[in-house]
Amino acid sequence: MKKEVARKSAIVALGLVGAITAFSLGAQAGLTLNGRVMSISVARMPVPPLPAMR
């Protein structure tokens, strides 16, 4: 009985660690991709001059 509970706890813990790792990697990849897309789009699109602040 204790082995079964320990096994289930280990599986749940492993699942949580895997989910957190996947979320972290996905968030990092998303930020990297978003940064690249923004830098490419900003580099290609001319920025209109801003009026002088008075």
Q: What tens digit of pLDDT does each residue of 1-54 get?
A: 788 899 999 999 999 999 999 999 988 888 887 777 666 665 566 666 667 665
Whether this model's pTM surpasses 0.85: no
Q: Tell me the one-letter amino acid at 19.
A: A
How far apart are alpha carbons 28 and 21 in whole angstroms?
11
pLDDT at 22: 93
Residue 49: phi and psi, rounded to 5, are -65, 140
pLDDT at 32: 82
pLDDT at 48: 65
Question: Helix/strand/coil (H, E, C) string of the chain?
Answer: CHHHHHHHHHHHHHHHHHHHHHHHHHHHHHHHHHHHHHHHHHHHCCCCCCCCCC
pLDDT at 8: 93
